[in-house]
Amino acid sequence: MSDEHLRLAGVTRVYPAVEDQSPVHALGPLDLSLRRGEFFSVVGPSGCGKSTLLDVVAGLARPSAGTISFEGKPVDGVVPDGIGVVFQEDASFPWLTAYDNAAFALRRAGVAEGEVREHVERTLTFMGLWSFAQAYPAQLSGGMRQRLCIARTLVTRPRLLLLDEPFGALDQQTRLLMGDELLKLWRDTAATILLITHSLDEAALLSDRIGVMSARPGVFIDMVETGWPRERDSRIVSGAAFGEVTGRLWSALRDQSLKALAMAS
Amino acid sequence: MSRAGWLRLLLSFGAIGLLEAACRMGYVSREAVIPPSMMVQGTWRALNSAETRTDLWLTLQNVALALVLSLIVGMSAALLLHKLPRLRRALDPLLASYYAVPTFVFYPLFIVLFGLNRWPLVAIGFLFAVVAVIINTLDGLSRIPASFVRTASVMRLTRAQYLWHVVFPAAAPWLFTGAKFAVAYSFIGVIAGEFVVSGAGVGHAIAFAYNSFDNRMMYGLILLLFVLVGGINTALSMWESRLYARRGGR
């Protein structure tokens, strides 16, 4: 089995002109190769195409040019089997209990109810939500709802997990703790993770490797290997190496962020 | 019951008591309004009359047909318009000004089209209700969060699964509002049609009592309708509140 799990070659995304506006070149051309089981994060200034990158990798949007392959098979506008996505927004279904939310995808796929229960119980327990299985999302905190969205994705056992700023709406302390949980599930599931984040600390804490994107159209301008051991948690933030990683990220990003600000204004 | 509920009950009973007293003491002519206690007697008399029960059953059947048709056609039309935004933009002004059109003017046309049977009345009730369903369903469809749509894509749901398990539950609060309007409008359309042009149904019975100066029967039937429609809407509202409560307003 090849060690390469995901490959992007010359991926470009241009949004076509709408009415009197010009086409928007949002992304690329961009090359990337992710190893199986790697934790890779993408940081970049606002509007650089991070979420667009996630959409094309997930198969939610087609690239205007270039190719994407997941486990050796092309991804082209259809979400392939084995990919799970967690969005920034709370996407838990408010009309379903936590249990039914987590069971949703398996039931739609026609999995037998006994098997559904087994998977859901294991996943909700793993995410610390089993005692809230019969609660509705409205009865859960923001952090618990986001954990529920992760659980709903994990229950399908994705081999590639795409996370689009999943902790963006949470406070700093909760983000650190959620980061620990994410590292634990990454180790336990052996999934490859691609995390989109605007937080340099989060990227530095969680990742094996970080891709720094330029202002729009987003291309990778730096790749930072963190060198962390696989067994790690949020305590690494107090080490000197952590500061070095975030410092390098900011050095690469500062000019791009200024450029993005100038473009926005 | 909440304080507001008790207050509402107190105000209602207070108003009924005042009207009773005003009628009994002769401040209000009984040729215009009868005391509420006599209205209740009229309702009781109506319910004990086989003829009125037949009228009521006919009206309820017509309302049910108009309601079901308006829900099916209204929701289907809304789904289509949601998929075709250009058509929706073109039709928006027409939908917004729809209730300015006096639907009853089409009654003669419906008689020509459907004959002298229940269907012209059902058509009037349907026309009254269907646009409320379309407008509210469109509102609900527009408010489905993009993250739900993307989640459905990631889960690779079929079109039917997406509609049944995501779209309808997500838009349920708006669908409910549309259904509540449809109940009220179906009753209005059918009863008013019966009142003006039909030879049967509760609307016709009210018109007959009015023309016969039988105020007790007329008010009794009006009260019966009031309780019936109010009861159905209250039941729907209670169901809606329970749904909303567990969804936390989402």
pLDDT in tens, B226-235: 999 989 988 9
pLDDT bin (cut points 50, 70, 90) of residue A181 is confident
- Asked if residue A112 is part of any domain, the answer here is yes
- Asked if residue B6 is part of any domain, the answer here is no
pLDDT bin (cut points 50, 70, 90) of residue A263 is confident
- A185 lies in which domain range? 4-82+159-264
What is the longest distance spanned by two Cα atoms in chain A?
56
Q: Which residues of B touch A138 (CB under 8 A)?
A: 246-250
A196-244 pLDDT, tens digit per residue, is 998 999 999 999 999 999 988 899 999 999 999 999 988 888 889 999 9
- Output the 3-class SS for chain B: CCHHHHHHHHHHHHHHHHHHHHHHCCCCCCCCCCCHHHHHHHHHHHHCCHHHHHHHHHHHHHHHHHHHHHHHHHHHHHHHHHHCHHHHHHHHHHHHCHHHCCHHHHHHHHHHHHCCCCHHHHHHHHHHHHHHHHHHHHHHHHCCCHHHHHHHHHCCCCHHHHHHHHHHHHHHHHHHHHHHHHHHHHHHHHHHHHHHHCCCCHHHHHHHHHHCCCHHHHHHHHHHHHHHHHHHHHHHHHHHHHHHHHHCCC
- Asked if residue B166 is part of any domain, the answer here is yes
Task: List the single residue in A60, A78, A94 with the smallest CB-CB distance to B150.
Answer: A60
Q: How many domains does chain B have?
A: 1
- Asked if residue B71 is part of any domain, the answer here is yes
- Asked if residue A175 is part of any domain, the answer here is yes
Who contacts B126 (Cβ-Cβ below 8 Å, separation ≥6)?
Answer: B65, B66, B69, B70, B73, B186, B189
Task: List the single residue in A83, A89, A138 with the smallest CB-CB distance to B147.
Answer: A89
Q: Is the pLDDT of residue A96 over 80?
A: yes
Q: Cβ(A204)–Cβ(A39) under 8 Å?
A: no
Based on the domain organization, do A57 and A118 belong to the same domain? no
CB of B157 within 8 Å of a chain A CB? The answer is yes
- Choosing among B155, B157, B161, which should be mutated to test the A contact, i.e. which has the most A CBs within 10 A? B155
Q: Is the pLDDT of residue B250 over 60?
A: no
Q: Cβ(A86)–Cβ(A150) under 8 Å?
A: yes
CATH number of B76's domain: 1.10.3720.10
Q: Point out the least confidently predicted range of B91-95, B135-139, B175-179, B195-199.
A: B195-199
CB of B172 within 8 Å of a chain A CB? The answer is yes
pLDDT bin (cut points 50, 70, 90) of residue B152 is very high
Based on the domain organization, do A151 and A167 belong to the same domain? no
- Asked if residue B158 is part of any domain, the answer here is yes
Based on the domain organization, do A73 and A172 belong to the same domain? yes
Which of A159, A250, A155, A163 minimizes the C-alpha distance to A206?
A: A163
Q: How many domains does chain A have?
A: 2
- Asked if residue A87 is part of any domain, the answer here is no
Based on the domain organization, do A172 and A149 belong to the same domain? no
CATH number of A8's domain: 3.40.50.300
Task: List the single residue in A91, A108, A136 with the smallest CB-CB distance to B148.
Answer: A91
- Asked if residue B43 is part of any domain, the answer here is no
Q: Is the pLDDT of residue A176 over 90?
A: no
Instruction: Give the rounded percent of residues in chain B with a pLDDT score beyond 90.
Output: 65
- Asked if residue B190 is part of any domain, the answer here is yes
pLDDT bin (cut points 50, 70, 90) of residue A103 is very high
Q: How far apart are the C-alpha atoms of A252 and B237, rounded to whole Å?
A: 57
Based on the domain organization, do A121 and A243 belong to the same domain? no
Based on the domain organization, do A105 and A76 belong to the same domain? no
- Across chain A, what does the average pLDDT equal? 90
B70-93 pLDDT, tens digit per residue, is 999 999 999 999 999 999 999 988
pLDDT at A1: 47
CA distance A19 to chain B (A): 14
* Cross-chain Cβ contact B154/A79 below 8 Å: yes
CB of A108 within 8 Å of a chain B CB? The answer is yes
- Asked if residue B216 is part of any domain, the answer here is yes
Q: Point out the least confidently predicted range of A14-23, A160-169, B37-46.
A: A14-23
Once rounded to an integer, what is the mean pLDDT over residues A60-73? Answer: 93
- Asked if residue B26 is part of any domain, the answer here is no
Once rounded to an integer, what is the mean pLDDT over residues A4-28? Answer: 88
* Cross-chain Cβ contact B248/A137 below 8 Å: yes
Based on the domain organization, do A177 and A202 belong to the same domain? yes
Task: List the single residue in B151, B172, B247 with the smallest CB-CB distance to A91.
Answer: B151
Q: Is the pLDDT of residue B222 over 90?
A: yes
Based on the domain organization, do A148 and A163 belong to the same domain? no
Based on the domain organization, do A173 and A69 belong to the same domain? yes
pLDDT at B249: 56
Based on the domain organization, do A240 and A191 belong to the same domain? yes
Based on the domain organization, do A211 and A151 belong to the same domain? no
Once rounded to an integer, what is the mean pLDDT over residues B143-157? Answer: 93
Q: Is the pLDDT of residue A160 over 50?
A: yes
pLDDT at A169: 72
Q: Is the pLDDT of residue B1 over 90?
A: no
- B199 lies in which domain range? 59-85+102-250
Degrees, nearest 5: CA angle A198-A204-A206? 95
- Across chain B, what does the average pLDDT equal? 90
Based on the domain organization, do A145 and A75 belong to the same domain? no
Provide the whole-model pTM.
0.81
- Asked if residue A145 is part of any domain, the answer here is yes
pLDDT at B185: 92
- Choosing among A85, A97, A108, A116, which should be mutated to test the B contact, i.e. which has the most B CBs within 10 A? A108
How far lies B99's CA from each of A255, B77, B91, B135, B176, in Å? 58, 17, 14, 12, 20
Q: Please say which residue of A157, A188, A212 terminates a domain.
A: A157
pLDDT at A2: 59
B27-70 pLDDT, tens digit per residue, is 888 888 899 999 999 999 999 999 999 999 999 999 999 999 99
pLDDT at A262: 81
- State the ipTM, two decimals: 0.84
